[in-house]
Amino acid sequence: MAARNAVYSPLDGERNGLNSKLPFKRNGMDICITPCVRLKGVRSYLQAVDSGSRRPLRRAARFSFSRLPLSPRSGPHLMNTKRNKIYEGKAKILYEGPEPGTLIQYFKDDATAFNGEKKAQLEGKGVINNRISEFVMSRLNQIGVTNHFIKRLNLREQLIREVEIIPLEVVVRNIAAGSIAKRLGLEEGTPLPRSIIEFYYKKDELNDPMISEEHITAFNWATTQELDDILATAIRVNDFLSGLFTAVGITLVDFKIEFGRIYENDFSRVILADEISPDSCRLWDTATGEKLDKDRFRRDMGNVIESYTEVARRLGIMKDMPTVIQGGLH
């Protein structure tokens, strides 16, 4: 088949669930090769993008097209492959994993607030959250905070351990913001006397009501030992995240985490699950107080994607990510 010039957007490769981006230099310019699959005729081909500039390549590299068989089982992360959906939430989808005891977690671009009353699509949000959550969960694993993360599969998907989710949202607060400021009449931005851990019953139709430890044990949502483990882990995560973000000029105001049970032989234990990203944390620029989190969406402040991108950039994980702008990737 005849060779053609090809100039291609990184998002198009990402839309097909592929993550094989092979960088090389041509005439001193960084170029990224992105495999892509077209459903029509199922042809696999390579296309070139300039990974360091917004403008298209003046002289695109030339590649030959070739027909390659693509099995539906050639990669559990391919978005176009028919898979067994286990669960779909507001921001993520869980698919059956390639091995027993595993799931594939897909990060959507959907943005929601006020228990789904406010909704929007922010193209590229899922990509950024996937990378930030991978970064944080990997480092938590390294310091002994066991969690469900195994590895990132592509721009939007992670391979995770299957857990039995405990129906609790655990919120750790360091500075007054959001609901605690309204409930207690505190001025937003007031440092709390110490870090406060709150529990919320994970039930959308009830608007996730705040509950006590007594509710949790009385209704058997978690045992006393599990609750002790959750509290200890929440404190460790807070210590780690506070240091991580302080080092890059970001103040950790508060965050929400979730937990799940894994079963090993006749025993179960509780591990960290879900995600840690600007969707689940309040993050303020330390110098200016500018919000770099989901409050920008909640409060119609704009520049949501730019703020999430700034968090990723400061954490040092933007080097191999596509350029992200408000409204899309390019």
Q: Rounded to an integer, what distance in angstroms lies between the CA atom of residue 155 and that of residue 11?
A: 9
Strand 43-50 with 29-38, pairing: antiparallel
- Helical residues (DSSP H) of 73-187, grouped into ranges: 125-142, 179-184
Query: Under 8 Å CB-to-CB from 258, ≥6 apart: which residues?
Result: 165, 166, 168, 169, 170, 202, 272, 273, 274
pLDDT of residue 63: 30
pLDDT range class, residue 100, cuts 50, 70, 90: very high
pLDDT range class, residue 115, cuts 50, 70, 90: confident
CA distances from 165 to 114, 147, 202, 269, 274 (A): 22, 12, 10, 12, 9
Residue 164 one-letter amino acid: E
Residue 108 has pLDDT above 50, yes or no: yes
Residue 82 has pLDDT above 60, yes or no: yes
Per the prediction, the chain carries an average pLDDT of 80
Residue 90 has pLDDT above 70, yes or no: yes
pLDDT of residue 266: 86
pLDDT of residue 23: 42
Residue 171 one-letter amino acid: V
pLDDT range class, residue 245, cuts 50, 70, 90: very high
For residues 97 and 158, is the Cβ–Cβ distance under 8 A?
no
Nearest to 311 by CA among 129, 173, 134, 157: 129
Task: State the average pLDDT over residues 186-200.
Answer: 98
The per-residue pLDDT for range 11-57, each reduced to its tens digit, is 434 444 434 343 434 444 443 433 333 333 322 322 333 333 333 33
For residues 312 and 321, is the Cβ–Cβ distance under 8 A?
yes
* Residue with more model confidence, 64 or 194: 194
For residues 329 and 123, is the Cβ–Cβ distance under 8 A?
yes
The per-residue pLDDT for range 209-235, each reduced to its tens digit, is 999 999 999 999 999 999 999 999 999
Q: Rounded to an integer, what distance in angstroms lies between the CA atom of residue 48 and that of residue 4?
A: 11
DSSP letter for 206, please: G
Cβ atoms < 10 Å from Cβ of 18:
21
The per-residue pLDDT for range 123-165, each reduced to its tens digit, is 999 999 999 999 999 999 999 999 999 999 999 999 999 999 9
The per-residue pLDDT for range 286-327, each reduced to its tens digit, is 999 999 999 999 999 999 999 999 999 999 997 766 655 434
